[in-house]
Structure 1
């Protein structure tokens, strides 16, 4: 769908976060005389009214009746199309699209493929993989855009040009690629396991929406993780128009210990790459496979991974206080991610902080793992803290770990300090690890705010930890 096709139609915006504001500016740029209606909350309504746009009507209640009055509603990603009011309006004929769909609609090219565009999704690892891809391409002198869910809406770059596009997409956005009517050149899926079940309405729908990037958008090449069972099964049933490249198996990019290989070729030892954990080195394999699928010499680009700057809030080492290292993994919103974080520090004495917004995910497997792979201490917190605590209480003696609970993050940090101090004696190399395995909703605006709060409680400067390097378009990496 091109923006020009919206001219003269009954058009509304739903949401006034960064994505919503980017959509507004793009629509005004292309359709300056188009009447628009904005649905947003009361606080956002004040900010929108300050624009002084006489063609913008602002409403604070997006009910089914009002949404049904429009031909097209441009929806922010965080608003689920499975909400009852959206489903009623869709049944009445209202089309819901996102900014991602509008951006892709503007990129129609011969053959229907957006050349040089690589989209990355996955339950975990998508941000790091996307940033690595941009970093590697820029190291080779390729003018590359880094945008999308990673922190820069695509519509903010509507009229900008790049040789390559590294675009992160959440499960909220993947369906928009197909709706844009243009196939991505390359689509990467890192892994798929349950998350965002409240937004999608269940695991089956989540998986279907996540995989829409390859099943419905039909990229020229799909780069898939051979170690993920769902993706391994998917590869055999993709549309013939989509070629498949695998990583994580011996005929593609893969790891043997710490050594990075391309097929039978040993490329370099990854021990000095600033990517904590085996899962992050798998993300490097994904990025290299994507660069190769775009037509670049990935073997030549691979050593540039040594100069990559890790993203904030993802196993981010904040520093050391009194011999204890503080690690911010606030991006962790599933038990699976928390287990991956623990594996990185399996040789250290760790006090782990878990819990947050209750999205209904099953923590039983996590609790079972704690029988044999527990840290020194686990502190539960947040809305789902009591549920996690009850599961862990049944295995704490067998697992030999100190189990504590707290009402909030401040209490959890204090409990972690106490648990480490109460052990066999404070040890150099102790770790306080925030890897909550749950969203931040309710207590914080987002995982960034939660990570900043953790940094402050640990005695670190929260303003120094949150910058995502390299957003936007550049031909080389920042120093």
Structure 2
């Protein structure tokens, strides 16, 4: 469905975040006379009216009856496609689309690399754009990484580096190359089950002419084995990291120690980006030197600096236990206090607990809504370098008191932020403030848009 197909229809937009605003603006630009209804929270009604005075603004979550008054709903990504009201309305004939789906319909010829994965997708997407631009290729960087695709409607680029969340993979149109960086359980509250989350992630494979996947994940290899044009990164024959060096086959290309984004997982993200660049016909070996210039994304193993004799690292984007393990793996040999916990989505922490039995950090501080559950599992496993705290403020106070001078305090929660904060970015900024840093210095992701 293209935007022009909305003409003459009863259309509602659901969600007034950045994606919702982008959808309203794009529809207004193409169909200025179309009547639009917006469903948003009661707290957003005034802002929505100021944003577009012609909107029929309803500060409520629609039920099936409210949705049935429309022919098309343009849904924001954060609204689960499995809400009962949406499912019932769809059965009754409602057409559900999104900003992502509308953009793909408007740009069928765009050369798109769409990147998803439980972890690594944002960094890999930004790395791809950075590498391509180092070769002089005009590249778009957009999607879930921080710029809705519809904000770039009408603009062209030879290469599109697009991040897609699991909420968006089923909304993409046909594209040249799909990339899956990793696959663990996450967002169970949106998808409803682990199986549905994985199935939704893998919808990217269905629309990708070629598919690039992480060769180090056996389950991902098994689930994508039937793709007719599957490519791999992370194996010795292609782009892989070995002995702290990034290789193309047997050829050593780049010293991973020069990466400003630390950890083996970021070296693997670099391999994914290089493999994607190569798959799109560009000289990845030539571009590899520019990896040294890539600035780590905010809230992703972001070194804040030293305060009070301690080093502070903001990894607030960590929303799975596996991400926390990767963060700890990048700090081996250091005295680390790690702060874990947050919104409880019911994720399985057993792998984290097992890993801690052999490689405990100096201290684990469990906080937030699932902190007690994490702490209980750790204690039952005999792990005693542990404290509990009610919230992030209290956790930072504990970490400051008990971390030895010269040690590191790592915020890598392994859980979403919604028990205490609006999103992971707000959590990361608050952590920086608690540590004594200027949170305003944590800027957004650089390079969004077309350059």
Q: What band does the TM-score fall into relative to the shorter chain?
A: over 0.9
Specify the alignment match of 1:417 in structure 2. 400
1:5 alignment counterpart: 5
The number of residues matched between the two structures is 450
* Equivalent pair of 1:253/1:289 in contact (CA under 8 Å): yes
2:302 corresponds in structure 1 to 316
Give the Cα separation in 2 of the matches to 1:235 and 1:80. Answer: 25
Cα separation, 1, equivalents of 2:64 and 2:253: 56
TM-score, normalising length from structure 2?
0.98
Match of 1:150 among 145, 150, 154: 145
Give the C-alpha shift of residue 467 in structure 1.
2.2
Structure 1 stretches of 4+ with a deviation exceeding 6 A read none
**Equivalent residue, structure 2, for 1:196:** 187
2:59 corresponds to? 60
Q: Return closer, same or farther for 1:366/1:52 CA change in 2, 3 Å cut-off.
A: closer
In 2, Cα distance between the equivalents of 1:195 and 1:21? 26
Asked whether the equivalents of residues 360 and 385 of structure 2 are also in contact (C-alpha less than 8 Å), the reply is no
Q: Secondary structure at the match of 1:50?
A: helix
Find the aligned partners of 1:79 and 1:137 in 2 and give their Cα distance.
33
Match of 1:310, SS state, is coil
How far does the alpha carbon of each residue in 1:277-325 deviate from its partner, in whole angstroms, 9 at most, with x for none?
0000000000001101111011111111010011010000000123311
CA RMSD, 1 decimal: 1.2
Q: Counterparts in 2 of 1:161-172, with a 5 A limit? A: 161-172=156-167
**Corresponding residue number in structure 1 for 2:449:** 472
Please report how far the alpha carbon of residue 427 of structure 1 lies from its aligned counterpart in structure 2 after TM superposition.
Answer: 4.0
2:428 is aligned to 451
More displaced, 193-202 or 368-377?
A: 368-377
Q: Is the CA contact (8 Å cut-off) linking 1:402 and 1:419 kept in structure 2?
A: no
Which string of whole-angstrom CA distances, capped at 9 and with x for unpartnered residues, describes residues 83-114 of structure 1?
A: 111111111111211110000000123xxxx3
Contact 1:312/1:467 (8 A) holds in 2: yes
| Contact kept in structure 2, 1:137 and 1:301, CA below 8 Å | yes
Return the offset for 1:128. Answer: 0.3
The alignment status of 1:140 with 2:140, answered yes or no, reads no
- CA positional deviation for 1:52: 5.2
SS class of match (1:249): coil
**Contact map agreement 2:115 2:124 (CA 8 A) in 1:** yes
1:41 CA drift (Å): 1.1
Aligned runs of 1:170-249 on 2, under 5 Å?
Answer: 170-177=165-172, 182-215=173-206, 217=207, 219-238=208-227, 240=228, 243-249=229-235
Question: How far apart are 1:395 and its partner, in Å?
Answer: 2.8
Measured in 2, the distance between the counterparts of 1:449 and 1:165 equals 28
Equivalent positions of 1:227-376 (< 5 A) are 227-238=216-227, 240=228, 243-376=229-362
Alignment of 1:120-131 (within 5 A): 120-131=115-126
| 1:92-140 residue CA offsets vs partner (Å, 9 max, x unmatched) | 111211110000000123xxxx3x2111000000000000000000000
**Uncovered stretches (5+) of structure 2, i.e. residues with no partner:** none
* Partner Cα distance (1:129, 1:53) in 2: 39
- Check the 8 A contact 1:313/1:466 in 2, yes or no: no
Is this contact kept in 2: 1:315–1:327, CA < 8 A? yes
State the alpha-carbon separation in 2 of the partners of residues 52 and 212 from structure 1: 34
Give distance in 2, aligned partners of 1:395 and 1:315: 27
Q: Distance in 1 between matches of 2:245 and 2:349?
A: 33
Cα displacement string for residues 431-469 of structure 1 (whole angstroms, at most 9, x for unaligned residues):
001000000013111000000000000000000013211
Q: Does 1:440 align with 2:422?
A: no
| Partner SS, residue 379 of structure 1 | strand
